[in-house]
Amino acid sequence: MSETKSVIFVCMGNICRSPAGEGVMRAMADRAGLGDRMTIDSAGTIGYHAGNRADDRMRAAAARRGYDLTSIARQVTPEDVETFDLVIAMDRDNLEDLERLAGGERDHIRMLGSFLEGHGRDDVPDVPDPYYGGEAGFERVLDMIEAACGAIIEHLESGNGRGD
């Protein structure tokens, strides 16, 4: 990857799934020696939690795996959808909100589940929202994000994303 690539992870409130995506992706990109050539961010489709840190339970689950979630919640903007090379939605509702913000379907707006091994565009799983569940839900989210981030890096390294 010779030029800087950008990816933004989007969930509803930007306090559980998307900051976890940002933190895991940042750590994996750094380990791959790509951290200085990637812009990694997260946002939510609603602004209710804007200004807040990630949920304490998600930060704790991520810390147990060696990830530091430092992002501050914010709402996704039309400019984000236009400027990021890859926009990753955590579930179908987020995908619909992003497509509405973009004025329709866009190739660079994808669900995280489409990067999981064994899943194509027709059988993409949602990343479940762990907010109202127990500790196992946060672990499941991290499992899915970890499993997808390698493929996301490969996707970006191969020149895929916006503008290709």
For the annotated catalytic residues, the residue numbers are 11, 17, 126
pLDDT in tens, 103-158: 999 999 999 999 998 876 678 999 999 999 899 999 999 999 999 999 999 999 88
Q: Quick one: what percent of the chain has pLDDT higher than 90?
A: 88
Rounded to two decimals, the pTM is: 0.94
Cβ neighbours for 87, distance < 8 A, ≥ 6 positions apart: 7, 8, 10, 80, 81, 98, 106, 108, 109, 110
Q: Cα separation of 28 and 37, whole Å?
A: 13
Tell me, what CATH number does 73's domain have?
Answer: 3.40.50.2300
Is there a domain that residue 97 lies in? yes
pLDDT in tens, 45-95: 999 999 999 999 999 999 999 999 999 999 999 999 999 999 999 999 999
Is there a domain that residue 148 lies in? yes
Is there a domain that residue 37 lies in? yes
Q: Per-residue pLDDT for 164 more than 60?
A: no
Are 145 and 21 a contacting pair, CB within 8 Å? yes
